[in-house]
Structure formats: structure tokens, C-alpha cells
Structure 1
Amino acid sequence: MNIRKRSAFARNRIHILATAVAATAMVAGVTVSAEATPSGSLQGAGNVKNACGLAKPGRARCFAEIRTDVHGGKGVRGQVAGAAATLPQGLGPADLRSAYKLPAIGGRGQTVAIVDAGDDATAEADLTVYRTTYGLPACTTANGCFHKVNQRGATTPLPADQGWGVEIALDLDMVSAACPQCHILLVEGDTADFNDLGLSVNTAVSLGAKEVSNSYGATEQNGDQVIAPYYSHPGVAIVASSGDSGYGVASAPAAFPSVVAVGGTSLTKAANARGWTETAWRGAGSGCSAWFAKPAWQTDPNCPGRMVADVAADADPQTGPAIYGTTDGITGWGIVGGTSASSPYLAGVIALAGHPQRFPDASYLYSHTSGLYDVVGGANNEVLDCGGDYQCNAVAGYDGPTGLGTPHGLGAF
């Protein structure tokens, strides 16, 4: 797809995607199918569902995707860590450390914040089950590791449940998996309105978080320039999921130039030197921004604006992590994916490395690609087809679904 054709598509795609319903059409050389739903997700072969429903205008949807065919039960409160016969289905912290060649310790003094909508009343208790199961150090309010506040930074009153309990459990568990020694701050917005979520990001930073993960979004639109400043805090790494609807309209806040946009992969064990194979996940969000200019540090040729994503990690529900939760659609152990998994994991990786000041934006990654696995293979073009371009196909070097690649140790962080 040439630049002129791609630019024309960028200007018109928001309206096109919002109204594509009954049939397949050809727009600016791009195939648009009836499945194109800007606030929806690209689900698996009948065994995946959204953790959160469709978002109302002006609000975000969480990107967690639940496997409906995995029911691990209540499981393992207090079990001996590493008892393989009783570990839940799905990837655990040791699996992800192995895949990404990460150290088991690090991140002392780092506080990773996760921003979500509404309260999860069982968040701390569920996190304790996850960390006990995998032999991770305790992270509780009592020992000062875990802290939960509302969007104003107070412990009370907490907001009403907004149906994001699975998302919150996923976020807490993935930060724990990446950085077991990090402190975790859960900031709960009053609602999924972008102003509430943005104020929650500001609160997270004011309370000392050095990495802030945002596993939610909505298709970008004119006017997002007003909320973008919430996600710009030099000295703090702001990380956001790229979305789970495949290639199309870029997702905000991932499209903001100050944000590290995290795409998704499918990660499986393999009999090779790495021990794992990785391809682009079919649902990983990617897109060329129609509203935000291309940063100087991003040089991909066929997108005139900010291109999403920058980096990636496992997000495929079919190869996803084991998660423990007890509210809003999960009743114990399950497997949950989506770029809602990769964003908090990458925030934890940045914390593990301990240099959040390197990430006022994603530019550091673009000059340290030797510290990343280049993901080649797979595509996210089942709703929109980019015509073989890197924007929806995982190719050598930069591509939309996986960005520059996935962590290979801490060299890029």
C-alpha cells in the first residue's frame, strides 16, 4: 500500500469502520469486513469472550479476553510453590521469564501502577492466591507492597464495581509475573470515562509510581488531543495496550506519542535454541494514527502519523497466562489474554530494569533493538487487510502487530 493511499485511508477510516456492518467493501484498497467493530474485539474460535462489554462514547473498554473452555477451580491457597501437578493451566511467571530471558529478581524501589475502572473488592486476596501459588513474595497492604486507592488517591470511598474485575486481576498478576519485587499501586477510576481514567494516571504518578500500565482504550478520534496530556509524565513510563481488534483504527491512549504502545504475540514452547516460538497474535491492535503526527524517532515508511505498536509480549488467549480472580466473570483460575496481558507485563519489565526515565516516550526502544526478539510471522488482518504491508504482517524489523519485537533480556529497557 503506498503512502498516498494509506493517508487517504487514515483520514476516512473512522467513519468507514463505524458504519461497516452488512457486507464486505473495498475502501482505498483495503478490505473492510462486516466484523469491523471499533469498540469490539477479534475473538478466537468460539472459546474466547470479552471481559468488558462495548464502550459507550467517551469511555474506554478493557482489553482482557477470557478463555471460556478453561476452568481451573479455586485451587491452591497456600500450596507448595512449583508443584507442577497442581499448577493451573496457562503460562506462569517462570514460563514468561524463560521465554523473555529475564532475571528472577530486580525492580526494588520501583512502584508499578495499574489504572482501571471501578473497584475489585477481592483484588488483594486474589493476588495473594496467585503469588502464593507461584512462590512469589507476598505483596499486601500490611507489608506495604500493595496499595489500592480511588482516582483522588484516597483509600475510601472506593468506586462502584464497573465490571472490570477480570482486567484488574490480570493486571495485578502480570505485573507480579514480570517483577515480583516491585510494589504495586492499583488506582481505580470512578468510571471508564477517559477523564476519570486520565485523572487516575495523574494520581498514580503523584503517589510515586514510575511505571503506569493502561490496559484499555477506544478507537482514536478528533478531540483525543485534550486527554493526551494525562499520559505524558517525563520520568515515568506510561504504557498502554494496542487493542484486540486487529489492524485498523489506532487505539487511544496507545496512539499518543508519549506512550509506549504494546502489541501482542502468540507464544509457544518449542524445541529450538530459545525454547519458544513467537508470532504475531491475530487480535493484536495496530494502526496508523490519523490525529497524532509521526514522532521523529519512528521511521516506518507507509504511515504518515504515529504508528502503533512499539513493542509486544504474549497476548494470545490460546497461549495466555494463568490468572486468578473471583469477580466479574471469573471464579478461580482461568486463562486470560488480550493486549491487556502484554501491557502490564511490559510495565513490569521496565520496572525490573529500573530505568523508567528512559521512557518519556518509546524512543529508547527504537535505538536498542538488539535487546529485543524480532517477531517474524503471523498477521492481524482478519478484519482489515493492509495488502501485505508491515502494518498488519509481522515482518523482519518493525511491524504494526508486534512493533520492534519482544523482550530479550533487559537490554532494551
Structure 2
Amino acid sequence: MPRANQNTRADYQTEPRAPLPGSEKPSFAAATARTATSSRKRISVSVILHCSKPIPSSAVAGKHLTRAQFKAAHSSDPAGVKAVTAFAKAFGLTAKSEPARCTVVLTGTVASMEKAFGVTLHEQAAGDVSYRVREGAIHLPASLLPYVQAVLGLDNRPQAKPHFRIVSPRAASTSFTPPQIAQLYQFPQGAKASGQTIALIELGGGFRTADLTAYFKSLGIAKPTVTAVSVDGGKNSPGDASGADGEVMLDIEVAAAVAPGAKIAVYFAPNTDQGFLDAITTATHDTRNKPTVISISWGGPESSWTAQARNALDQACKAAAALGITVTAAAGDNGSDDGVGDGANHVDFPASSPNVLACGGTRLTATGNSISSEVVWNETASNEGATGGGISTAFPQPTWQSSITATQPGRGVPDVAGDADPTTGYRVRVDGQTMVIGGTSAVAPLWAGLIALSNSQNKNAAGLLQSKLYAAAGSKAFRDITNGNNGNYQAATGWDACTGLGTPIGTAIISLLASRSATKKAVAKLRDR
């Protein structure tokens, strides 16, 4: 790391500046004409610093760290904290360091932020909501650049969308309760996820306790302990059954119903790149709730993220993996172009991070307690969506994916799959209504629940589990989906860019994750590099 910064206030104000790599923001195309932002308005931004020491690959591969060990060895670089604090003081900003999260939160007026970061902030409206927007790059004093990975929060336009689909009233449909889905996928019957906490990242909406009480009573399952955690001012704010509440309730009800006994911690944050990242880092380093799995059902095309935000969030997921926390993420509901509409292939982020388990979707039909058919979810002809999937252009192919056939050498999405078609969706309760909801949003908490069951049964944190899933023995733990497409990608034998390795045979997945052999091989391989 660079030497401790000794700059004075005057130095920071006069020092030559340079763009922060990857911080370039495009114009807000969906918005109306711009207006000035009040220069006196106070805002907070998250300055993401590099860790004092890089996270070791061995920890990600399976030699997990405790939260105390991580904080001691991989917190913010002290020299970086000192430099950013001095920089903040030079521009009249207050600084609060969050060492384990490698974050320094700066608070001050818009006018001070504009001077400090070399940007111009303005207001633009999209519909009835006004957002604070910046364009171009953030500029920092050259001596500060080696410490800073990202600066998030200057711009608060929406970053992500929830990946759920409410079945159309006109669609012919079949639906399942989450326990029925778990039974079809051979989750161990009667198993408990005792001692596990599943974290849910939510960027809007909320839940009502009365709905949870009624829903779990109808299933004959004890109501889970559900805790709401506020991040960056985000709150449990239930409102519209067809809006973000549908996402929140789907996530809670699926995860808790398939993993009875698990506690649920819901991290509510604003729908911004800052809120998204801060929610993940808060959950990862939460020493009170201590999540063992994080489920994410929100995302957006890789191209909609700045490189700084994308890389910082990927590093946050890497930190989670080093702590033994598995992060599951929905692969998207808009097929191979991820809704971009430019004719090209796009994958969804954070599903494309190599440090998360990317979850794609299928259409599942059953006869009694057995699966009679399962194909790639693609209902675009009837406007009911299709599973996301493809090849990342932002992240290289991980070593554990070296055996897959891909059209380009990037990280393949998804890794795994589950029922997601809204016409074969999940019966849930939202704002007093029984609804049928699908989307890959349902698959992320479904897999999170299976991993929580595995962690409890195996008494071992799964962490980043792909090395085991992609190993030769892993094929026996999946139903391979070989029919269908998501647009430009076709299902095939083995891994494909529609449903990944396939859908789970629950008991086999748990047995596979109990084995330590793949973990030992992965660690040894990393040491030999």
C-alpha cells in the first residue's frame, strides 16, 4: 500500500486531480429536464477503501475466517482512513470510519461534496420522483487515488430492479407452496435449519407481521423470527402488493418455509448503488444477527453499473465468501438480453459476480409428489418473462468453470436453477392477498434455504460452494435441464447459459457439501499458483 498521506488542508484543495477509475456515470436518459440541487442540502456518501491486506484466496476456497479474524487482518487500510479523514476535513465534511466494511462515510452539504469530488449535482425527475444525478467521472486528488476503490452516493438514481413476476390473470397456471417445491426437489423432509440466519437484501417495500402469521399458520409451520435492519435510512415500509412488497414477502416466505427454524434478517436499503453495497457489507459484518447465507433478488444488467460500483460489490461478496457466507443471486427475468433491448447478450449483476451463486429459472410441472417435466423458463411469447443467463463481459471465467463450454471466456451465468415460471409459480401472501409469484427472485431464497439446511445438518458453513458443485461428483446432485432456451442460449447436456448445472436434488446437494475433499483440492490448487 502507499505511504501514509501527510497532506494538509491546503494541499488537498490545490493538488492536481485525476479521474477515479470506473466512476463515469452516463446521463439519466429516463428523466426529464434538470433543475439545480439545493447547495445546502446535506447528503452522505460511502467512500470504499481497499482492504489493508487482500482477502486470501484460501479463505474464499474454504478455509473460512471468523468475523474477528477478518476485522483484524482485512479492515480498511489505516493510512487510507487517515488520508480520507483529512481530505474530508479539508472540504468541511464529517467522516465516520467503518473499518470491517472498508468504508468511510462522509457527510456534508451538496456544495461541499461538489468541491470535494469535482462533480456537479443536479435534480432530474422520472415520473413523480426526483433524483440527484451526476454525469461523467469523479475527480480526486492524485495522492488519494491509491486508497480509494469507489465513491458511492453522490448520485441516487435507481440502480436495480426486483426479479419477480406476478402471474397474469389471463395466463393458464399451476401453483405450488414453497414446501411443495422443496418436496419435489427432494429437500430432506422434517429437517430444520436451526442455528442459521438467512439475510435478505431488499431495496424497497416491506412486510406485515400479520401476513406472516397467517401465511405460516396456513402451511402448518411455525412463524419464523423476522428482523428488519435499517441501512442508510431504508426501512420496512409495506405499501403496494404489486410493487416491492411482493419481492419482500416472496423472499421471506420462500426462504423460511423451505428452511424451518432459520431466522430471517431483512436488510432494507435505498435502491441506489450505495444502498445496495452498504446492505451487503452490513449483513456480512453483522455481529448481532450473524447471517450464514445472503439472498439477493434484485439486480440489473452489467452495463447499467459503473465499474467502480460493480467491482466494490463483487469484493463485498468475496468478503462474505471468506467468512463462509454463501451469497445467492437471481439471474434476471428478461432472457438473454436482460431487458436491455439492443439485440446483444447481457447478463445480470450481481448474479455475474464470481463470488455469488447465480440462480436461473425453469418451468416445472408435477404429478403428485414427482416432477413430470422441467424445461427452461421462457414465456416471452405471452409476456411472462424468461430466465436470465449468458456470459459476463465484466468478469473472467473462474477456475471452477474451466470445464464449461462457452462462446467467450467470461464467467458463465447461471450456476444453478429452480422453478421460476410465474405460470408454475409460488403461492404466497402479500398485503392480505394470496398471490402466485414467480421469477428468479424465488430461486435465490429457495437455494438460500437449501444451503441453510445443509449448513445446519453438516455443521459446516458452505461459503462459496461452486468448486464442489462443478466437480465431477456434482453432476449427480442435479436434475440436468436439456430442453428450452432463454432467447439466444439453448439448454444442453451439462452446464448451459439457461439453467446452469440444473435444479437441485436436495439431499444429494447436502451430502455433496458435507464432503471436504473438493475444498482441500481447491485450496491446494490456489497455493500452487
Using the size of structure 1 for normalisation, the TM-score is 0.72
CA shift at 1:350, angstroms? 0.6
Q: How many Å apart are 1:158 and its aligned residue?
A: 2.5
Structure 2 residue aligned with 1:310, among 391, 415, 420? Answer: 415
What one-letter code is carried by the residue in structure 2 that aligns with 1:362? Q
Q: Which residue of 1 aligns with 2:502?
A: 405
Equivalent-residue separation in structure 2 for 1:157 and 1:274 (angstroms): 42
User: Offset of 1:395 from its aligned partner?
Assistant: 1.3
| Alignment-derived partner of residue 48 in structure 2 | none
2:252 to 169, 172, 187: 172
Q: What letter corresponds to residue 166 of structure 1 in structure 2?
A: G
The one-letter amino acid of 1:358's match is: A
Tell me the residue number matched to 2:235. Answer: 158
Q: Secondary structure at the match of 1:379?
A: coil
Quote the Cα distance in structure 2 between the aligned partners of 1:67 and 1:380: 18
Q: Is the 8 A contact 1:254 1:308 kept in 2?
A: yes
Counterpart of 1:186 in structure 2 is: 266
Q: Which residue does 2:373 correspond to in 1?
A: 277
Does the CA contact (< 8 Å) of 1:67 and 1:317 recur in 2?
A: yes
Aligned with residue 203 of structure 1, among 282, 290, 293 = 282
| C-alpha contact (below 8 Å) 2:205/2:237 kept by paired residues | yes
SS in 2 for 1:227: helix
- 1:204-223 CA-to-partner distances (Å, cap 9, x unmatched) read 22230000000010100350
* 1:66 counterpart = 2:166: yes
Where do 4+ consecutive residues of structure 1 move more than 6 Å?
none
Q: Which amino acid aligns with 1:252?
A: F
1:130, distance to aligned residue in structure 2 (A): 1.6
1:199 aligned partner, one-letter code: D
Pair 219,256 (structure 1): closer, same or farther in 2 beyond 3 Å: same
Distance in 2 (CA, whole Å) between partners of 1:263 and 1:217 is 13
Alpha-carbon spacing, 1:65–1:157, altered in 2? closer, same or farther (3 Å): closer
CA distance in structure 2 between the aligned counterparts of 1:255 and 1:192, rounded to whole angstroms: 19
Q: Is residue 200–residue 295 contact of structure 2 (8 Å, CA) maintained in 1?
A: yes
Name the counterpart of 2:186.
Answer: 101
8 A contact 2:425–2:437 mirrored in 1: yes
Residues 298 and 127 (structure 1), Cα distance of their counterparts in 2 relative to 1, 3 Å cut: same
The code of the aligned residue for 1:348 comes to G
- Distance in 2 of aligned mates of 1:239 and 1:332: 27
Is 1:353 aligned to residue 450 of structure 2? no
Q: Deviations over 1:24-46 (max 9, x none)?
A: xxxxxxxxxxxxxxxxxxxxxxx
Deviation at 1:102, TM superposition (A): 1.0
* Distance in structure 2 (CA, Å) of the matches to 1:89 and 1:403: 24
Confirm whether residue 250 of structure 1 aligns to residue 347 of structure 2: yes
Which among 325, 334, 351 is matched to residue 435 of structure 2?
334
Aligned to 1:216: 298
Structure 1: 5+ residue runs without aligned partners?
A: 1-14, 19-55, 72-87, 140-144, 386-391
Q: For residues 325 and 348 of structure 1, what CA distance do their matches in structure 2 show?
A: 20
Deviation at 1:58, TM superposition (A): 5.7
Q: CA–CA distance in 2 between the matches of 1:285 and 1:130? A: 29
Whichever residue aligns with residue 346 of structure 1, its letter is: W
- Counterpart code for 1:246: G
Counterpart CA distance in 1 for 2:293 and 2:170 is 31
Q: Using the TM superposition, give the Cα deviation of residue 324 of structure 1 relative to its aligned residue in structure 2, in angstroms.
A: 0.4
Whether contact under 8 Å (2:363, 2:420) holds in the other structure is yes
In the alignment, structure 2 segments of 5+ residues that lack a partner are: 1-25, 30-155, 337-344, 379-385, 511-529
Match for 1:227 among 309, 313, 325?
313
Change (3 A) 1:70 1:198: farther
**Percent of aligned pairs with the same residue?**
30
Shift of 1:159: 6.0
User: Given that residues 359 and 417 in structure 2 are in contact (C-alpha distance below 8 angstroms), is that contact kept between their aligned partners in structure 1?
Assistant: yes
Q: Deviations over 1:154-181 (max 9, x none)?
A: xx98365684111001001110232122
CA distance in 1, matches of 2:417, 2:234: 36
2:430 — aligned with what?
A: 325
Report the equivalent of 1:379: 485
Contact 1:269 1:277 in 2 (8 A): yes
How many Å apart are 1:95 and its aligned residue? 1.7
Name which structure has the greater RCO, CA cutoff 8 Å, separation 6+. 1
Rg comparison, structure with higher value: 2
Matched letter for residue 359 of structure 2: V
Query: Which secondary structure state, in structure 1, belongs to the residue aligned with residue 395 of structure 2?
Result: strand
Q: Hey, what does 2:69 align to over in structure 1?
A: none
Q: Matched residues in 1 for 2:293 and 2:223: separation?
A: 20
Cα separation, 1, equivalents of 2:475 and 2:157? 37
How many residues get paired? 320
Q: Decide whether aligned partners of structure 1 residues 336 and 159 sit closer, same or farther in structure 2, where only a CA change above 3 A counts.
A: closer
Specify whether residues 58 and 307 from structure 1 end up closer, same or farther in structure 2 by C-alpha distance, changes over 3 A only. Answer: farther
1:138–1:70 distance in 2 versus 1, CA, 3 Å: farther
Q: Tell me by how many angstroms 1:275 deviates.
A: 3.8
Structure 1 CA distance for aligned equivalents of residues 418 and 234 of structure 2: 35
Conservation of the 8 A alpha-carbon contact between 2:479 and 2:503: yes
SS at match of 2:507: coil
Query: How far apart are the structure 2 equivalents of 1:313 and 1:279?
Result: 10
Aligned 8 A contact 2:176 2:426 in 1: yes
Q: Please tell me whether the aligned partners of residues 478 and 503 of structure 2 are also in contact (alpha carbons under 8 angstroms).
A: yes
Q: Is the 8 A contact 1:198 1:231 kept in 2?
A: no
TM-score (normalised: structure 2) = 0.57
Greater per-residue helix proportion: 2
Moved more, 401-410 or 338-347: 401-410
